[in-house]
Structure 1
Amino acid sequence: MATVEDTILIREMTPDDVNGAVELSYEQEWPHRHEDWEIYLALGEGLVAESEGRIVGTTMAWRYAPTFATLGMVIVANEFQGRGLGRRMMEAMLGRLAGCTVLLNATEAGAPLYRKFGFEPLGRIHQHQGTARMVPLAQLRPGERVRPLGGADSDLAHLYDRATGMGRGKLFESLGRSGSAVVLAQDHVPVGFANMRRFGRGWSVGPIVAPDLAGAKALASHWIGAYAGSFCRLDVPADSGFSEWLEEIGLPKVGEVHTMVRGTAPVFDERCRLFGLVSQALG
């Protein structure tokens, strides 16, 4: 006799699956809107688990040149948890990513499964969110300014590549279409940037790329100050020193995930650091 698991079909995600994916993420109390799922699918690839016409599981991946990928949005419906469905979906997606170094951000509950697939700890990410309030003006240094993104700022994607150790050109272009950005310039030379876009319950600040913590604070101050009174979220590396400052200005840490890697970790440029993720899924 066939079991319930035998009747579950794992197949490629299509735009028609977005509504079901949104319902699944809401069941887990994740904030992702229909538009957020659409953007994720446009940028990457996904698999769904389908049972009797209903989406009961998802996993997604995004490839970055030359051989890197991030993996996320791994969800299993509550009633199907504990039956090995998460493992089946991971096996299927990792098979598609053969030859790639894969990174993901894991919850405490999800980390044991990922370790079984060869993922190793790489760092931690702190999730900060809340209603933004007015923040002190950024303490800019001589020759330094924060300004809007301009048509001549063609090198920012390269800064993003250096900060992550991965090719992020396609993602950077997408961020330009779905949000706004400001640039940190030193003596008229761009050295960092921060993006702001709609996400979940309000607004997300990220990615944030800067040469140092002072620059990251200046970039974040611009957006948090501009959206005072609005719900804002930032996902920041735990070892960046950024988390403590966000607490001070009233954006508390509400969660933590573990960055894990399967393969050789990317090498980033210490002179151009990632202080804020675009999202936990995309890294």
Structure 2
Amino acid sequence: MTEIVRELTEDEWGSIVHLSKAVGWDYHRKEVEMIFKNGTVFGIDDNEKLVACAALISYDEKKIGSIGMVIVLQSHQGKGLGRKLTEACMNRKAQTQSLMLIATKEGESLYRKVGFQTTDTIVKYTSSSFESFNDFVHAQSFEQFMLQDVVDLDAAAFGERREGFLQDRIKQASKAYVRYKDEKIDGYGLAIDTPYNRIIGPLICKTDEGAIDIIRALLIGYSGRVRIDLPKKRERVEAFLQKSGFSLSATPPLMVKGELPDRNGTLISIAAQAFG
């Protein structure tokens, strides 16, 4: 094989989904399309078959770039393809843009070699059977007039504005809730339904109590599999999840190259590992 890195096009989503399934990951069409809409995807072929890919996702101000969806077919691992694709993403970033990624335990050493440092741990919780929530919650459904307040909350939590991404993600959401306190929105959360589970995130709130209320709102009447990825340990939120039937399923490392913009500590759960 030539190991030539090329930029993929959106109509190749099927090859990416197939590659994802081959390694036991759960990327699906809508998520891959969202990644293309917000970033650039690179791939490597062997005999005209996609065997590896990776994406660089950027937001409005290009302060932060997230490298995600780094997949290498098992038969082609150990050949440096992951590094080639990561370097392609690094070469495409804006000059002043810092990079982040959520690594696998196996991939952590590779990313260290190209300048990333481990800064924290993602705390992934999943559940296939949890306590049903059917009671009153202090949250209300998102309406379009709330968008700018939600974007402002998100920017302070994430470190840069990502209005375009949020507009698309809210349209994709099966549920979107906000929480008011003192007549101001102090939190919001989205539920994204996939063929595999319901993802809770992004979820941003100024208090853990409010975050729990939003989680409850997003799960009312739902009984399927659920996933929520916390960007750091949050004892009160984790205690609630454990009591409700969730289990800690993974703790992948969060890695950064450069310095991330200031964050105010209100990011409770991330949109997905590819989006940082």
The TM-score, its normalising length taken from structure 2, stands at 0.93
CA shift, 1:158, in A, is: 0.8
CA shift, 1:89, in A, is: 1.2
Matches within 5 A, 1:144-163: 145-153=138-146, 154-163=148-157
Report the Cα distance in structure 2 between the residues aligned to 1:139 and 1:268, rounded to whole angstroms: 31
Match of 1:95 among 91, 94, 97: 91
CA shift, 1:9, in A, is: 2.6
Structure 2 stretches of 5 or more lacking a match? none
SS of corresponding position for 2:87: helix
For 1:236, the equivalent position in structure 2 comes to 230
For 2:104, the equivalent position in structure 1 comes to 107
For 1:213, the equivalent position in structure 2 comes to 208
CA shift, 1:200, in A, is: 4.5
Q: 1:214 to 1:139 in 2, by over 3 A?
A: farther
CA shift, 1:98, in A, is: 4.7
Q: 1:213 to 1:138 in 2, by over 3 A?
A: farther
RMSD: 1.7
Give a deviation string over 1:77-111, Cα, whole Å, max 9, x none: 11111011111111111111152100111111111
For 1:274, the equivalent position in structure 2 comes to 267
Superposed structure 1 runs of 4+ greater than 6 Å apart: 137-140
SS of corresponding position for 1:215: helix
Alignment of 1:164 onto 2:158: yes
For 1:130, the equivalent position in structure 2 comes to 127
Q: Is the 8 A contact 1:183 1:192 kept in 2?
A: yes
Q: Specify which structure has the higher proportion of strand.
A: 1
Q: Percent identity?
A: 24
Give a deviation string over 1:15-61, Cα, whole Å, max 9, x none: 22211111111111111112221121122111011111100100001
Report the Cα distance in structure 2 between the residues aligned to 1:151 and 1:55, rounded to whole angstroms: 40
For 2:168, the equivalent position in structure 1 comes to 174
Q: 1:239 to 1:132 in 2, by over 3 A?
A: same
Report the Cα distance in structure 2 between the residues aligned to 1:75 and 1:122, rounded to whole angstroms: 22
Match of 2:54 among 38, 59, 76: 59
Match of 1:79 among 69, 75, 80: 75
Q: 1:139 to 1:217 in 2, by over 3 A?
A: farther
Report the Cα distance in structure 2 between the residues aligned to 1:246 and 1:202, rounded to whole angstroms: 16
Alignment of 1:186 onto 2:181: yes
Structure 1 stretches of 5 or more lacking a match? none
